[in-house]
Structures are given as C-alpha cells and as structure tokens.
A and B are shown apart, each in its own frame.
Chain A
C-alpha cells in the first residue's frame, strides 16, 4: 500500500492539536511553535500532493478501508481537483491564521489546539468520499469553531456562537435525513459509488435534494438563511473569521458540487431555476446590506453573502463554465476575503475600532496597510487581472449559456456594480483622505504581518492573470461532475 498521504494530511493536525494542548496554557511559546510547525508540515504535504496530482486522472490518492463492513461504511478518502483546491486553501489559511494570532494571550494552548482541530474537520470534509465519514467531519468542524467564537470572541460571543452552532446543526439534521434516505434506497454510504450508480427516481431525488439543500444552504449561506453569518463574523476573533469565511462557507457549496449534483442530477435540474433565483437575490441583497454597514467586519461579512451568491449561480447553471466559475469564486473568495479579514483585524488591533467612521486616511498614515486593503478591495470587487474576476465572470457566462432565465443574469451582473459600490465606498472612507485621530498614531504593518498577507497577494495575482493555474485542477473535476449528471 502506498503512503497514506491523505490520511496524514487530515489527521496530522489532530495529533498536533493533542500535542499543542500538552504543554498547557502556561507555555504559549511551545504551543505556538508546535502549532505552526504542524500546520506548516501539513501545508508542505498538501504541496507535495499538488505536485504529484495528475490533472488528467480524476479521483486519485484513494484510500479505502472497511470501517463498519456490516453496513458498508468505509473509510474512503480521495481527491479530485475541486477537493484539492479546497484542501490547499484550508491548509494555507490555517497556517496563516496560526501565524497571525501568534501573540494570543488568552489560553494560548487551547487556542492553537482548536485551530488545528478545525483543520482536521475542514481537510476531512473535502476528501471524505463516504457519507458517514463526511458527516463526522462536517459536524466536527462545528466544535472548534464554536469554542473559537465563544471563548475568544467579542462582547456578544456567546449569542453568536450558539446561533452559529444551532443554525448549522439545524441544517445538518436535514442533511442526515437525506443521507439515511439515500442509504436506504441504495444500500451504500459511498458517495462516489452512489453517483456512479445513479438511477434514483426523480421524485425521490427531489425530496432528498430538498433535505441536502437545507443542510448546505445554511452553510453557504444562501438568502434568507444567512443571518448567523454576520453575527458570527463580528464576534469571532480574526483568525476564526478568516477560516469561517475562507473555508467553512465553502463546505456548503462543495456539498452541492460533490453530492447534490452528481447523485441527484434530475432534482438538480429541477431545482436549478430556484437556486439561480436565490443566488441572484443573495448577490444583490448581500451587496445592498453591505453598503449600509458601519462596521468594517460586518461589511465584509455581508459581502460574503453576495460573493457566495456567485458560487451558487455558477452551480445552478450546470455548465462547465458555471461550475468552474463556482469553484474559482470559492477559492478566490477564500483568499481575498481572508486577506480582508486579516487586514481589518490588523487595523483593529491598532485602532481598537472597526467603526468605519472612526478610521480614515490609512494610506497617508500607514501606506502598506492602506495599499493592501485597497488591493484586496479591488480583488474583491472583481477587477480583471485579479482572482475575483475569474469566477464571477465564468459564472455569469455559464449561467447565460444555460437554461436559467436571463433576467437573473442581469440581476447578478448588477451585483458586480454594487460590489464596486460598497467596496470603493469603504476604500473611500477608510483608506483615502486625511487620517483620523484613531489612525494618527498607529504604526504600519510589521514584517510578520506582511508575510501573512504576501502568499494571499501572490495567489490573487497568479490566479487572476493565469486562470489555468487554478482551472487546470477544477476543470476536469467539474467535467466529471457533469458527466455523472448525464451531460447536462
């Protein structure tokens, strides 16, 4: 048997989480060094995985072992390009989150332990190809995120954490029902085998799709199931916000791509119009609400609702362009919004405020921070040449070529304009102008902070300039999804 690379990538952080907890909160130095080392090794392993990954070969690095053979529950891990992109993002953002929160003083061992535990769940969700395993990882993510928000969060952290937890749990209960229903119908828990077999009755598919929809749509989140997100983001500490927006939201859209579309193709076609409508509404609604925000973090949170709408729009198109666009937005949003949350956090650490009206003129006082915030804003509003444009554009093109009503495309396109409006309005008030009292005395980004942001800047430009650097991985994967759907 080959080296179980995926298992190591998924469970190394678990060992790390235990190891970090050992020295205890009294020795923060040991905890963070261990945490960073483990996360770095994991990232290197993912890098190695990427190098060895064959873009032409579909699912690979499969590891399959009986787990509960009586009912066909298997320990089944594998990656395709879609999974790989997400795992890579997860490993990178975890490492950056650890470095960015280097100086955490409150219960440091527990903090880094939770971040690593979170990585286990995040990595696992994207490579698990067995429903039970998938579900375990899916729920596993909730625990560390709950503690990250509830222990290290802002003043309303308890409320936000419980809301996040219950809301997602509410969705995943339905997902569990869907999983059981599928099992009873097919007799297997294997996601890939189920998709290969196909042949589920359309009416049955419709109901199962509905169940999964609730589970995934809460996570994405799709309007009107999104209100946990702004609360969670505002209360969450910076690193948790980065991972929440960067990875956790993508679990929902990944679910649609990995499970709903290939296993329930007829239902997916029936639901696509509805999905597109919700997506278009999310785009415009999220953008409109973002425009009214007075808190930087809340603005970025609502912008996530808007951007994830483009993911859903691409998925609803059921075209190669749209699905590639969806995954591209997932990746880019992780990178760019990660950057935005990091920057907002760095500004907050210095000014002790996130109120837009109290922060202005960053570029005159702290040009590096201001410049990078402007850069991230332009990436976020979809400037061509940066990563945000790739997915949004492909989603729009894909959905136009599909059966979806063209009106939703126009609505979504208006969302691009609205994104420019709230992002530039933020830049206008925060980055430009003369510096406000809160900004007057602060220092610019440190070397360490620049190093946290640098990989994200590089990724934003690389993907934006050379689309295939990302799409060469995602394109075969989404084409496989479409093939499984019977060439929709």
Chain B
C-alpha cells in the first residue's frame, strides 16, 4: 500500500521539477504536470478499489508516518492514513484535478506563463491530497497553509493588473484570520493531549465539554476562513480574478471544501460539544441564505457561481451542525463535481462571449450546444432537481434537519434552496436563452469539452449510488423520503419558475431596473454585499493602517525620543561638572554629544577614532576588574 504516499508526491515532484526551470522550459514541461496528475488519479483509483467495499472500521486500512521532530519527551510526527473517507476524497480531488488540468491546456494555451500555472496547480494538488491523507492535525494544517499559498499565487496570476493583485492578498489575509483559530486549536490540542495524531486526539482522548467546545469553536473559525463562511466569506468572490479553471478546482471543488473536511475529521470533538454544533449550524444557515441572496444580484457570471459556492458550503455546514457529518460529506462530493463543471462551463462561455457580464450574453444555447447541455446538468444539480447529484445530497441535509428536530433550520434551508433555484434559473435564462447579443460565438475545443462531459456524467449519475456510498463510508445514506423530496422539488421548481417569470418570459433583453427601483432598500443592501467589504475596509484595514502609522510615529518620537533625550540629559548633567570619574564622563559625554550634534545635523565633527576611547573604556573596565579580583583573591 506504500504507493498511496505517491499520490500527493507525484504532483509535488512535478512542482519541484517545474519551478526552477526557465519560462520556456517550463512551458515545454507542462505535459509532465499532466502526467503527474494522471498518475495520481490512477493510484487514487487503485487506493479506492483496495478500500472497497469499505464499511465502518476503527482502524485505518493503511497508515505510515515519519517523525518530524523530537521535542522534550514527545515526538511530533507526520503521516498518511487511508480509510474510506479519504479514499473517496482522493478520488474527488484527482478526478476534478485532472479534469481541470486537461481543460487548462486549451484554456490557458495563449498564456506565456502557462508553465508556472501548471507548477502551482501541481503544488496545490499535492497539498490538497496530503491534507486529505494526513493522519494528524499538524500535517493537515501544514497542507492547508500551502494550499493557501497556491490560492494566493493563482488568484494573483495576472498580477500586472491591480484587481487580481488586491484579490490575492485579500484572500490570503482573510483566510489567515481563520487560520489563527486553527493554529490556536492546535496549541490547545497539544496542551490537552500532547499529540496531534487523529488516533490520540479523536479516539484515545476523552474530551471534556469545555475543552471540546474551545477546540471545536477554534477549528470552526479556521474552517470558516477556508470555506468562506460569513463573516469570513469576503475573499471568495474577489478570488474570481484568477484563471477560471483554477477557480473551478480551488475555489469551488476542493480547497474551499477543506474547511468542511476539517470539521468532518474532527467530528468526535464537535460531537462532544453541543455549543460547537449549534454554532456550526448557525453559521451554515446564515451563510447559505445570505450568500444565496447575493448570488441573485450579481451580473458577473463567475461571481454568481462564487456566491453560490459560499452558499452551498453553507449547506454543508448546516449538515455538520445538525449532526449529519456524512450528509455534509456527501454534499461536498456532489458539489465538487457539479460546481467545477459549472465553472469550466463558465470558462467556455467567457472565452466565447468575451465578457463575464451576463447582461451582455444571451442565446448561447444555439451556438454552444455541448456546453449548454453539460452546463444544464450542472445547473439542475445545483438547483436540486432529480436525478442530478445535488438533489440527493441536499435532500440528505434536509432529512437530517427534520430528523434532528431543527424545524427552524429546515425552514431556512428550504428558503436557501428556493433562492438557489432562483439564481440558477436567472443565470440560465440570462445566458442561454433570449436574443443573441454577440457575433461569432464558438464552441470550445474538444480537449476542453471532454473533461466537462465526464464531470456532467458523474453529476447525472452519482446520485443513484448514494446508499452504496453511504455503506462505503460506514454510514447510512438512505433514499430520500418521498415527503421531503416532494417539498424540496416543489421549492426548487418554484424558484426556477420565478426565475423564468422574471428573466425567461420575454424574448427581448431583460431589464430589471423597475424591480430594483421598487425594492431600492433591499437592493441597496444586496448590491453592497451587506456592507461587509465597506466595514472591513474602513474599520479593519483603515484602522490598522492608522494604528500602524501611529505606532511608527510613536516609535520614532517617543520611544527613540526617550533614548536621545536621555543621552542629551546625561550630557547636560555631566557638563555641570558633577563629580564622576573623569574617564567615564569623558567617554559618555563625547558619545552623547556626538548623538546630539548629529541630531543637529552637524555630521562632520565626529572622528571615527573616538570609538577607541570607548573600547579603551571597556578594556580598562575589564582590566580594572581583573586587577581588583586578583587583589581580592590574593
């Protein structure tokens, strides 16, 4: 089973080989990255097969590690483990990762830094796979941070432009805020357990409610940063400044889901704390609904998908908070496929239409038949229409809410589902139907369509294997109950119908100005994204900048002022002829005088030879000391 370790190592190797190359050589070496991705995919399939048929097990199927450090009596180790949960995740990451890499060949072929793009993509894949395989919290955290780096690099891929540059730093710092929680959680875990290993932390240790709450809430905060949950969601829409296939992989399918995966991993700690579960549920509900509403007012097709991602991640947190870790994981898996599919589709649309603004699109269905078909599968999955994958996993979440008695949560989740269906429908009718607004719309190359077709096939089919998947994970994923399914389908249908009513009825280009004017207040709040960015920009960034400038001024005027002032005061004291040993006074006066004179900008007066006096002073002091000691000792 040692080959499992190669799964993250292959792309890591690709990164290590590509990075030191020249730009030209790197471009030629792109196939190497692709081979690494394919290799990882093949090995992941092998790993998945070896774990099949899965089921609930106490021990991982395979585990291996190395000692990273010896500290005192403890040893900190890093290692991998394989079990159903991460075998499934391996498959998700490598399938989407390979699809994105194949797609990028076409999408990015005009970029002269395509080699660098593939290098970072490889490093990202390696980190995500290492995160999934990690058998301890420290390794998970380290991979987590490296993914943050890759996300930063890819968002800022076109760093010559201001937008991507600012978006990349915003993403890094906002997620880093969450990471502080993760890091402190690690400190608490270590203080509590003395180890980071899952086996020791999750199974061997009995968590007292107070400690469990602390750790779980800190981890939740970390997960909220990475998974863009309110109020740390602000970076993800801006992250759309990166290349679209990178958005598909990192900011839709995998990295942003790492927060969910973290909570799934640490679930025993969450289960020991009702408070933590309640907060998780709350965060999920707020995010699912709030981000869904924002998706309804975006015009940039990628931003709609970005807010949709935030909202769908919210659904996963709802599941986790309601006690359905498996339902959350299920939705993670289905979402990874259908959302990356939607992003890849959006990439084709953007390339074809030369715009990201949906108001300038329309009638694309006639010109991009394949894209339209596969995008349709993704859209229906997102809206929650049977039999597409999103329907099944979302129903799981709704069922869990009902079974656990979270009726308010159930209602809110339904509302979020309605909103979801509405913005999907809005996007669809804006983009694919209605009058064509551009000339020369071309379908993408086969190499870009093929990965999308694969993802669409998975999206259409995976739902039928729900119960089998549940058994593999060692948990129950039942077929949806007819009543829940009926309600959710009704809600989704209503959302789509409303979308059609607003955007799909007319054959002309839809203008919603009248609607916006009628609900000006509501629209203002949504258009300003609930004022999060403004608040953060003004208070957090503005406040810190001001504080930092004030600190700098304080440092040079007060802290350093005291030093220079003391020197000056010493000089005056000495000048009044107080009775000190003349050597010392001489030395210090000269020195302080020099400082003061310097401040008075008379630079030339000081001779560098003067320092010999000080050295003389020191040597003199040592000699005196030694002599004195000799006398005393004798």
- State the A residues within 8 Å of B (CB): 68, 70-71, 73, 132, 135-136, 139, 142-143, 146-147, 150-151, 156, 158-159, 161-163, 165-167, 169, 173, 176, 180, 183, 223-224, 226-228, 285, 288-289, 291-293, 319-321, 324, 361, 363-364, 367, 378, 383-385, 389-390, 393-394, 396-397, 400-401, 409-410, 413-414, 416-417, 420-421, 424-425, 428, 432-434, 466-468, 471-472, 475, 479, 482
Let me know if A424 and B172 touch, CB within 8 A: yes
Q: Bound state CA distance, A196 and B523, in angstroms?
A: 74
Contact A292 B180 (CB under 8 A): no
Binds A, one of B347-355, B453-461, B548-556: B548-556
Q: A162-B591, A288-B548, A467-B76 are in contact. Are A400 and B608 (CB under 8 A)?
A: no
Task: Specify the main secondary structure of chain A where it touches its partner.
Answer: helix
Which residues of A sit under 8 angstroms from B611, Cβ to Cβ? Answer: 143, 146-147, 150, 161-162, 165
**B541 to A, closest residue via Cβ:** A421
Nearest CB of chain B from residue A462's CB, rounded to whole Å: 13
B186 to chain A, nearest CB (A): 7
Q: From A161, A384, A475, A479, give the contact of B146 (CB < 8 A).
A: A384
Closest 7 CB pairs of A and B: A320-B72, A384-B142, A467-B69, A400-B187, A159-B598, A292-B552, A227-B560
For residue B548, which residues in chain A have a CB less than 8 angstroms away from its CB? Answer: 288-289, 291-292
- Whether A421 contacts B173 in the complex (CB less than 8 A), given A413-B184, A433-B165, A475-B71, comes out as yes
Question: Once the chains are docked, how many angstroms separate the CA of A337 from the CA of B103?
Answer: 40
- List the A residue with the shortest CB-CB distance to B629: A71
Q: State in angstroms the CA–CA spacing of A98 and B172 once bound together.
A: 37
Quick check: A162 and B606 within 8 Å, CB to CB?
A: yes
B176 within 8 A of A: yes
Contact B591–A410 (Cβ < 8 Å): no
**Contacts A292-B549, A471-B71, A479-B72; A135 near B622 (Cβ below 8 A):** yes
**Assuming the A-B contacts A288-B548, A289-B555, A385-B146, are A400 and B160 also in contact, with contact meaning beta carbons closer than 8 angstroms in the complex?**
no
* Interface presence of B141 (CB below 8 A): yes
Per the CB 8 Å criterion, the residue count for chain B at the interface is 72
A400 with B190: CB separation less than 8 A: yes
B591 touches A383 (CB 8 A): no
Contact A393/B183 with A143-B611, A227-B559, A401-B191 known, Cβ cut-off 8 Å: yes
B522 interface hit (Cβ, 8 Å): no
Interface pairs (17), CB distance under 8 Å: A135-B622, A146-B611, A156-B598, A158-B603, A162-B591, A227-B560, A288-B548, A289-B555, A291-B545, A292-B549, A363-B159, A416-B176, A417-B173, A424-B152, A425-B169, A432-B165, A467-B76
- List the interface of chain B (C-beta within 8 A of A): 23, 67-74, 76, 141-142, 145-146, 149, 152, 156, 159-160, 162, 165, 169, 172-173, 176-177, 179-180, 183-184, 186-188, 190-191, 544-545, 547-549, 551-552, 555-556, 559-560, 562-563, 567, 588, 591-592, 594-595, 598-599, 603, 606, 608, 611, 614-615, 618, 621-622, 625-626, 629-630, 632-634
A361 to B159, CA, bound (A): 9
Query: Are the C-beta atoms of B180 and A413 separated by less than 8 Å?
Result: yes
Q: Tell me the smallest distance from the CB of A165 to a CB of chain B, in Å.
A: 6
A residues less than 8 Å from B184 (CB atoms): 396, 400, 409-410, 413
Main secondary structure of the interface of B (DSSP, over half): helix
**Residues of chain B contacted by A424 (CB below 8 angstroms):** 152, 169, 172-173
| Inter-chain contact B165/A416, CB cutoff 8 Å | no
Q: Find the A residue at minimum CB distance from B556.
A: A227
A418 to chain B minimum Cβ distance, whole angstroms, is: 8
Nearest CB on A from B307, distance (A)? 25
Q: How far is the CA of A180 from the CA of B633 in the complex (A)?
A: 13
Q: Are B69 and A169 in contact (CB under 8 A)?
A: no
A394 → chain B closest CB, angstroms: 7
Residues of A within 8 A of B176 (CB): 416-417, 420
Q: Is the CB of A227 within 8 A of B563?
A: yes
Q: How far is the CB of A477 from chain B (nearest CB, A)?
A: 12
**Max count, chain B CB within 10 A of own CB: residue among A146, A321, A414:** A321
> How far, in angstroms, from A156 to B626 measured CA to CA in the complex?
37
A-side contacts of B632, CB under 8 Å: 71
Tell me which residues across on chain B come within 8 A of A466, comparing CB atoms: 68
- Give min CB distance, A54 to chain B, whole Å: 15
Q: Does the CB pair B187–A397 fall under 8 Å?
A: yes
Identify which of A139, A361, A397, A420 contacts B172 (C-beta below 8 A).
A420
Instruction: Give the residues in chain A near B173, CB-CB below 8 Å.
Output: 417, 420-421, 424
